[in-house]
């Protein structure tokens, strides 16, 4: 088999949240599982493939999902579980590849160029990686091997779930040409709709000379970069992970709210989850951002520094609550609230709070093992 | 008010109070100093309401009186003047005229009656100390005290003064919650056969800093005393008062690790140099440096995702199991900077337990530095 100049693997776990719930609780196997919070306000965070067939999708209000799929089994989100799964996948992937780049909790790129002497057949490599990930986590994933990141991602997206696809060198453009423009990374729903209006439906249309004048008006010089991608020319390297710069969480309410208590409760819930993650990575946050989106889709944000980097949520809450209160405009209804922690730095141990530190470590360990629902800091009421 | 004073004499007085004068401009008069012309000279007073300083300077007073003038402007003027006598005259509405050779300045003052009085001292009970000893203790602990820490009390130094059996022992403690420095030494002979007594007080960092500045001038041994809410410090005609900080100082003794064998001894200057070099590539803000101890050596390592990495090894007397931990390089450099001896010992039980740093051969100083996970 001829050696590839560059070989990129893209992996994407199938319905990671819902599948993790089933791995954690095998009694759910075969049921119509979706992850989300309960009605009336709750929304679906992630739906398993069988549930998707009923028309249920992420970000849909749970009440609507239950109407579409009455036998739906709703599982609450469990971020520590996903993190644990993520960690195991990372360890498994690191055993294969010299460099992996995780673009989200369930997606990664890896550079397999130097692995070709060990795995001359990319399909064999793909099967081995899929099996290793399954063995480590019990989760199935879709894997694509191509010469660049874009083609690998588009190929994987087209072969879900549990797929394995190899796009050999030289066939990239023919593989991409018939796909809808929307599947090309960088083209969102709004751009896709405009392109549809211009009669451009497929990726292949982007490199058609007849479309070029129209497209140049739309994109200017950016067009050439997109045309290269459309031809499957993609030299973007796999960048091993950098330190996370921030951690965030946001939610859209299914009914807009002007109730400060609801906003505070939601943020407090986010805070205990985020602080747990920050502590787990031995970090402390130097600043935070509270984000609100009102019923008219106007987004407002407030970023503040903590007096010193901190990872103990009761000590963070006062500042976050004050920022939220200063951001909320009376008699305004909000559809979304979010919180992110940033300026993450390695945490320095504290001299005088060693008992608190130990207690938090014990709590974090219990959360890691049994999920976020079983324990939380006192004085932080239930969501 | 009218007086003649040597430029250098007034400049010395002004230099001493620059640190006391309030810079945040909360009350305009606090950025002024009070000049009180009396028969025997001129008193210069400054206060930020927490700390006050008063000193008497030689001057020929032709007409007694008092005025307050901007500490900074007066200092800037004096600095630029040539040596020699200057004449200070205060006229109506607190306008002050400064005549020095051919230079003439007129600056606007504020009435002396508006200047806050220094706290009244009912009973001083001053204890003589050795200036060098006190200065040394301040130097060894001040770096560890907090800077604008949210826990107000950590922005001070804990002072414990014990007099027993003709000895006066002084202990200073500073901590910002991540590191702790405790320094203790004998600082003089107890005045009489008084019953042993112990005085505990928390003084603001600024007061300790000003004391140290005055001590560095040399020239005369200090006296120190405490009342219920005040520290009094006297040295060669100068008086420094400071309000004591109210609150409970954390139980620092509880966090000092017990002595055990897991200890590494290294040459201080060698470690300081190595830390400075590798920390060039440490991450901003936390200055994280990874430290590995293994038989006979210490290895320091830093990495910065934006620039690269650095490593350096140095010999260490260490026999325990290999151990890897991390520190804020700044914290270690601060301690190494106040240690005088040739070698320094670091005692660590586990990678995340407090690290006890000591000066080999000096049991009067200990420092505890908390590690970071790297």
What was the ipTM of the complex prediction?
0.70
Q: Under CATH, domain B256-369 is a member of which superfamily?
A: DNA Polymerase III, subunit A, domain 2 (3.10.150.10)
CA distances (Å), A48 to each of A51, A75, A298, in order? 5, 11, 32
**pLDDT for the residue numbered B192:** 61
Tell me the shortest Cα–Cα distance from A370 to chain B, in angstroms: 25
From CA B110, how far away is CA B88, in angstroms rounded?
15
Chain B environment of A353 (Cβ under 8 Å) = 177
Q: Is the pLDDT of residue A373 over 60?
A: yes
Size of interface A-B (CB pairs under 8 A): 56
- End-to-end Cα separation, chain B, in angstroms: 65
CB contact under 8 A, B286 and A348: yes
Round to whole Å and give the CA distance between A300 and A20. 34
Q: Average pLDDT for residues B202-216, to the nearest whole number?
A: 94
Output the CA–CA distances (angstroms, integers) from residue B222 to A342, A382, B128, B168, in the order listed: 49, 60, 6, 13
Mutate to test the interface with A, among B145, B152, B177 (most CBs of A within 10 A): B177
What rounded mean pLDDT belongs to chain B?
91
Element (H, E) at A20: helix A16-24
Nearest to B139 by CA among B216, B223, B52, B198: B216
Residue pLDDT, tens place only, A339-363:
999 888 888 888 887 788 888 889 9
| From A345, A351, A354, residue closest to B286, measured CB to CB | A345
Contacts of residue B276, defined as CB under 8 A and 6 or more positions apart, other chains included, come to B333
pLDDT in tens, A36-88: 888 877 788 888 888 999 999 888 888 899 999 999 999 988 888 888 899 89
Work out the average pLDDT over A260-283.
89
The reported pLDDT for the residue numbered A242 is 55
User: Which residue is catalytic, options A101, A107, A208, A383?
Assistant: A107
Helix (H) or strand (E) holding B179: strand B179-189
Burial class (CB in 10 A: 0-12, 13-18, 19+), B119: middle
Taking the C-alpha atoms of residue A320 and residue A361, their distance in angstroms, rounded to an integer, is 23
Nearest to B369 by CA among B330, B323, B319: B330
Q: Please, where in chain B does CATH 3.10.150.10 lie? A: 2-114, 127-252, 256-369
> Strands B355-359 and B230-235: what pairing?
unpaired
pLDDT of residue B283: 77
Looking at CA atoms only, how far is residue B370 from chain A in angstroms?
5
**DSSP 8-state secondary structure symbol assigned to residue A381:** -
Q: What is the pLDDT of residues A75-122, one digit of tens each?
A: 988 888 888 899 899 889 988 988 888 888 889 999 999 888 889 999
Cβ-defined contacts of A111-116 (< 8 Å, 24+): A111/A6, A111/A7, A111/A8, A111/A9, A111/A237, A111/A238, A112/A7, A112/A8, A112/A9, A112/A145, A113/A4, A113/A5, A113/A6, A113/A7, A115/A7, A116/A3, A116/A4, A116/A7
- Domain A8-16+80-173: CATH superfamily is Reverse transcriptase/Diguanylate cyclase domain (3.30.70.270)
Q: What is the pLDDT of residue B193?
A: 59
Helix (H) or strand (E) holding A175: helix A172-176
Higher pLDDT, B4 or B308: B4
Euclidean distance between CA atoms B286 and A357, whole angstroms: 19
Residues of A in contact with B372 (CB under 8 A): 282, 346-349
Which pLDDT belongs to residue A383?
A: 38
Query: Tell me, what DSSP letter sits at residue B70?
Result: E
Q: Which member of A343, A349, A354 has the closest CB to residue B372?
A: A349
Q: Does B132 touch chain A (CB under 8 A)?
A: no
CA atoms within 13 A on the CB side of A30: 2
- Closest residue, chain A, to B288 (C-alpha): A346
Residue A121 · residue A200 · CB < 8 Å: no
Residue of chain B nearest A243, judged by CA positions: B305
Inter-chain CB proximity A351 and B326 less than 8 Å: no
Across B251-267, average pLDDT = 90
pLDDT band at A30 (very low <50, low <70, confident <90, very high): confident
Share of chain A above pLDDT 90, in %: 39
**pLDDT exceeds cutoff 50 at A142:** yes
- Chain A: nearest CA to B178, how far in angstroms? 5
DSSP A317-335: HHHHHHHHHHHPPTT--EE
More confident residue, A357 or B12: B12
CATH class of B2-114: alpha beta
Provide the H-helix boundaries in chain B: 7-17, 71-80, 131-141, 205-216, 268-278, 329-338
Q: Give the per-residue pLDDT at A382.
A: 41
CA distance B261 to B320: 8
Nearest to A350 among B177, B285, B286 (CB): B177
The C-alpha of A291 sits at a distance from chain B's nearest C-alpha, in angstroms, of 26
Q: Of the given ranges (A207-211, A272-276, A283-287, B60-64), which has the lowest mean pLDDT?
A: A207-211
- Chain B residues in contact with A245 by the CB 8 A cut-off are none
CA distance B369 to B355: 5
CB atoms within 10 A of CB A235: 9
Q: Are B92 and B45 in contact (CB under 8 A)?
A: no
H/E stretch holding B364: strand B362-369
Q: In chain B, what residues touch A349 (CB-CB under 8 Å)?
A: 178, 352, 354, 370-372
Average the pLDDT over A180-184 and give the result: 88
In whole angstroms, what is the distance from residue B19 CA to residue B51 CA?
10
Average pLDDT over residues B67-74: 94
B198 contacts B173 by C-beta, under 8 angstroms:
no
**B175 to A307: CB separation less than 8 angstroms, yes or no:** no
Mean pLDDT, residues B273-279 taken together: 96
What's the topology of domain A177-230?
Answer: DNA polymerase; domain 1 (1.10.150)
| A221 CA to centre of own chain | 30
Asked if A348 lies within 8 A of B285 by C-beta distance, the reply is: no
Task: Name which CATH class applies to B127-252.
Answer: alpha beta
Whether residues B255 and A308 touch (CB distance < 8 A) is answered with no
Superfamily for domain range A246-370: DNA polymerase, Y-family, little finger domain (3.30.1490.100)
Contact B199, B124 (CB under 8 A): no
Q: Is A349 a catalytic residue?
A: no
Cross-chain residue pair A351–B175, CB shorter than 8 Å = yes
Q: Choose the closest CB to A242 out of B305, B326, B370.
A: B305
How close does chain B come to A282, measured CA to CA in Å? 6
Residue A273 C-alpha, separation from nearest chain B C-alpha, in angstroms: 21
Is A308 in the B-facing interface, judged by CB distances under 8 Å?
A: yes
Percent of chain B scoring above 90 in pLDDT: 71
B330 part of contact set with chain A, CB < 8 Å: no
CATH fold of A22-77:
MutS, DNA mismatch repair protein, domain I (3.40.1170)
Question: Whole-number mean pLDDT of chain A?
Answer: 87
Residues of B in contact with A345 (CB under 8 A): 283, 285-286
- For residue A111, give the nearest of A155, A136, A154, A146 by alpha carbon: A146
How does residue B190 score in pLDDT terms, banded at 50, 70 and 90? low
Burial per residue of A57-82, b for 16 or more beta-carbon CB atoms within 10 angstroms, e otherwise: ebebbbeebbeebeebbbbebbbbbb
Q: Is some CB atom of chain B closer than 8 A to the CB atom of A245?
A: no
To test the contact with chain A by mutation, choose from B150, B180, B357, B372 the residue with the greatest count of A C-beta atoms within 10 A, namely: B372
Report the alpha-carbon distance of residue A30 to residue A27 in Å, rounded.
Answer: 8
Segments of chain A assigned to CATH 1.10.150.20: 177-230
List, edge to edge, every strand of the sheet that includes B167-175.
B197-204, B156-164, B167-175, B179-189, B362-369, B355-359, B343-347, B263-267
Question: Residue B22 corresponds to which tokens in the numbers above?
Answer: 């309030």
User: Is pLDDT at B302 greater than 60 in this prediction?
Assistant: yes
Mean pLDDT along residues B145-166: 88
* B182 or B360, higher pLDDT: B182
| Burial label, A54 (beta-carbon count in 10 A; 0-12, 13-18, 19+) | middle
- What average pLDDT does this structure show over A359-379? 82
pLDDT attached to residue B191:
64
A89 with A12: CB under 8 angstroms? no
CA-nearest residue to A347 within chain B is B372
């Amino acid at each position: 088999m001829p050696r590839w100049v560059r070989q990129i693997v893209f992996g994407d776990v199938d319905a990671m949240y819902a599948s993790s719930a089933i791995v954690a609780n095998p009694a759910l196997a075969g049921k119509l599982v979706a992850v989300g919070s309960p009605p009336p306000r709750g929304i679906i965070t992630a739906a398993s493939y069988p549930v998707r067939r009923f028309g249920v999708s992420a970000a849909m209000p749970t009440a609507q999902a239950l109407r579409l799929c009455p036998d739906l089994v709703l599982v609450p989100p469990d971020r520590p579980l996903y993190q644990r799964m993520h960690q195991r996948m990372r360890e498994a992937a690191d055993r294969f590849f010299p460099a992996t780049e995780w673009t989200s909790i369930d997606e990664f790129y890896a550079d397999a160029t130097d692995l070709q002497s060990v795995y001359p057949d990319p399909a064999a490599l793909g099967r081995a990686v899929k099996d290793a990930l399954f063995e480590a986590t019990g989760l199935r994933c879709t894997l694509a091997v191509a010469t660049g990141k874009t083609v690998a991602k588009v190929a994987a997206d087209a072969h879900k779930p549990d797929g394995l696809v190899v796009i050999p060198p030289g066939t990239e453009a023919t593989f991409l040409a018939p796909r809808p423009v929307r599947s090309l990374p960088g083209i969102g729903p709004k751009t896709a709709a405009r392109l549809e209006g211009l009669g451009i439906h497929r990726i292949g249309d982007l490199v058609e000379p007849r479309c070029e004048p129209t497209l140049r008006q739309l994109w200017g010089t950016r067009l050439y970069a997109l045309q290269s991608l459309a031809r499957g020319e993609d030299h973007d390297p796999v960048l091993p992970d950098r330190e996370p710069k921030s951690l965030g969480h946001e939610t859209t309410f299914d009914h807009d709210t002007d109730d400060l208590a609801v906003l505070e409760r939601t943020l407090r819930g986010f805070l205990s989850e985020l602080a747990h993650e920050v502590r787990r990575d031995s970090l402390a946050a130097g600043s935070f951002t509270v984000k609100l989106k009102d019923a008219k889709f106007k987004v407002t944000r407030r970023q503040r520094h903590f007096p010193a980097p901190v990872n103990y949520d009761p000590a963070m809450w006062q500042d976050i609550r004050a920022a939220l209160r200063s951001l909320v405009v009376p008699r305004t209804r909000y559809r979304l609230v979010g919180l992110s922690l940033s300026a993450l730095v390695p945490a320095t141990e504290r001299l005088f709070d060693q008992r608190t530190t130990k207690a938090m470590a014990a709590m974090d360990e219990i959360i890691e093992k049994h999920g976020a629902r079983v324990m939380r800091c006192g004085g932080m009421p239930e969501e | 008010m009218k007086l003649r004073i040597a430029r250098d004499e007034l400049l010395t007085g002004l230099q001493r109070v620059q640190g006391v004068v309030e810079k945040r401009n909360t009350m305009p008069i606090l950025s002024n100093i009070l000049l009180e012309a009396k028969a025997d000279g001129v008193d210069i007073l400054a206060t930020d309401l927490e700390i006050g300083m008063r000193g008497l300077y030689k001057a020929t007073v032709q007409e007694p009186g008092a005025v307050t003038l901007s500490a900074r402007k007066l200092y800037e003027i004096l600095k630029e003047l040539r040596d020699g006598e200057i004449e200070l005259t205060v006229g109506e509405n607190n306008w002050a005229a400064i005549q020095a050779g051919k230079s003439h300045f007129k600056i606007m003052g504020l009435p002396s009656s508006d200047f806050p009085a220094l706290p009244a001292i009912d009973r001083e009970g001053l204890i003589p100390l050795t200036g060098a000893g006190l200065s040394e203790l301040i130097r060894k602990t001040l770096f560890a005290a907090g800077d604008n820490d949210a826990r107000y009390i950590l922005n001070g130094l804990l002072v414990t003064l014990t007099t027993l059996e003709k000895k006066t022992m002084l202990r200073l403690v500073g901590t910002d919650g991540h590191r702790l420095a405790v320094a203790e030494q004998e600082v003089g002979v107890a005045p009489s056969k008084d019953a042993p007594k112990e005085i505990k007080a928390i003084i603001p960092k600024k007061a300790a800093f000003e004391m140290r500045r005055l001590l560095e001038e040399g020239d005369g041994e200090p006296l120190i005393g405490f009342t219920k809410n005040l520290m009094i410090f006297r040295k060669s005609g100068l008086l420094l008062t400071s309000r004591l900080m109210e609150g409970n100082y954390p139980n620092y003794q509880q966090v000092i690790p017990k002595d055990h064998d897991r200890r590494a001894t290294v040459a201080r200057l060698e470690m300081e140099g190595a830390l400075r070099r590798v920390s060039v590539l440490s991450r901003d803000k936390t200055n994280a440096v990874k430290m590995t101890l293994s038989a006979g050596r210490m290895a320091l390592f830093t990495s910065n995702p934006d620039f690269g990495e650095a490593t350096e090894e140095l010999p260490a007397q260490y026999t325990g199991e290999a151990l890897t931990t991390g520190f804020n390089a700044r914290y270690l450099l601060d301690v190494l900077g106040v240690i005088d001896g040739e070698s320094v010992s670091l005692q660590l039980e586990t990678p995340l337990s407090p690290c006890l740093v000591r000066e080999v051969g000096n049991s009067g100083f200990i420092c505890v530095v908390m590690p970071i996970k790297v």
